[in-house]
Structure formats: structure tokens, C-alpha cells
Amino acid sequence: MLVDDHTIVRNGLRSILENTDEVEVIGEASNGEEALEKIPLLKPQIILVDISMPGISGIELIKRVTKQWTNIRPIILSMHNDDAYILKSVEAGAYGYLLKDATRDEILTALHAVKNGEKYFNASVASVIVSGYLSQVQKVEKATESRKTLLSKKEREVLRLLVEGMSSRQIADQLDLSVRTVDNHRANMMRRLQVHNAAELVKLALEEKLL
């Protein structure tokens, strides 16, 4: 199914795709609202979606489609070779991202890959996705390091024993502290790390490797 607000683009795509026995174009929509009305009736396997459309954008359409119809695989076909658009499309659930200057062979290659449950991104688009992923990893790592600096050496010792499942009394005996001091350490850590109870504190320590 083709979803694009420009008739000439839809006609061009239909002409390209209908010249092969491998693909059947079962319908068109000129905007997101029309696409959402037609999808339940036409039941397409794949939708080729433009990003910039009046009303519901292509990215918002993909979010709704992937939420309501998990068997439908959207591919973005856009003029935007922009990092933000590419990353937002992938986050929304796009199985592929093609530029409008893509060749017929590339479009068919993408359709075959997506039909088989694979993702399709050419080298330049894949590079943007990898860079975005690495950037996100770096942000998480920096946030983790920042949280680590919020804890004193003694607090990290208390946290390690909490993770091991020890009670305040057991931790106090292990570290030669009073139970009250252990409880104060735990309360201070919870306040600084913005969690509400010991279970959340332990979960955060494990997920973000604070020890």
C-alpha cells in the first residue's frame, strides 16, 4: 500500500512496482487518516510511507500502525536524508528507510527483505542508525558514571551488601556499623538516586552497574 500526499509520486511508484510480478499494489492513500481507514479493509503486508504529509505525519502513522497491526511492516520512503528523521522513523517501528531517489532495484530489494521479516537500511542510513545508537550508549554510560559519583565509598559498600540480599542488621555487623547508620546510608542513597524503596535501589544498582 502506498501512502503519499503527492499523486505523481504514488503514480510513479505504482508504475515501477506493477512492472514486476513480485509485487502487488493493493491500494493507495493520500494522507495518514485515509491510510488508517483503508488498512483494515485492504490488509497490506507492507506500507510505503512518506514522512511529510498533512495531518498525521508518516512517523506518527507508523507508530499507530505498528501498535494496532503487528503483522504490517512499514517502510519510509522520503526525501529527508536527515539524522533526526531517520532515527525517529526507526524508533517508531519502521522496517526500512528509503530515499526518494532510490532506484527500482533498491526499492524491490527493500520490499523483499522486509517481506521476509528483515530490516532494510542502505549503508548511509545504517551509518546514521549506528551513530545514534552509540551516542545513546555514551549518554547512558555518562549518566551511570554521574550517579556513581553521588555515592561515597561506604555507601557503595552498603549498596553491594544490599544487592547480595543482606538485612540492615547483617550489613551493620559486616561493616562494624550501627543499624541506624546503615539505614541512614540507605536513605541517603535513595534520595540522591531518586528511588523510593530498597527494591528500586537494588534494581537500579544492577541495571546501571553502580558497583
CATH number of the domain that residue 41 is part of = 3.40.50.2300
Gyration radius of the chain over CA positions: 26
**Model pTM?**
0.61
118 shares a domain with 194: no
**Hey, is 67 helix, strand or coil?**
helix
Does residue 28 belong to any structural domain of this protein? Answer: yes
pLDDT above 70: residue 137:
no
Cβ atoms of 156 and 186 closer than 8 Å: no
Query: Look-up: residue for cell 479493509?
Result: 41
161 shares a domain with 125: no
Cβ atoms of 107 and 98 closer than 8 Å: yes
60-97: per-residue pLDDT in tens?
999 999 999 999 999 999 888 788 888 888 889 999 99
- Cα–Cα distance between 87 and 180 in angstroms, integer? 49
Domain of residue 121, residue span: 2-131
Does residue 84 belong to any structural domain of this protein? Answer: yes
- The structural domain count of the chain equals 2
| C-alpha distance from residue 95 to each of 6, 48, 67, 86, 141 (Å) | 22, 10, 14, 11, 28
170 shares a domain with 71: no
CATH code of the domain in which 180 resides: 1.10.10.10
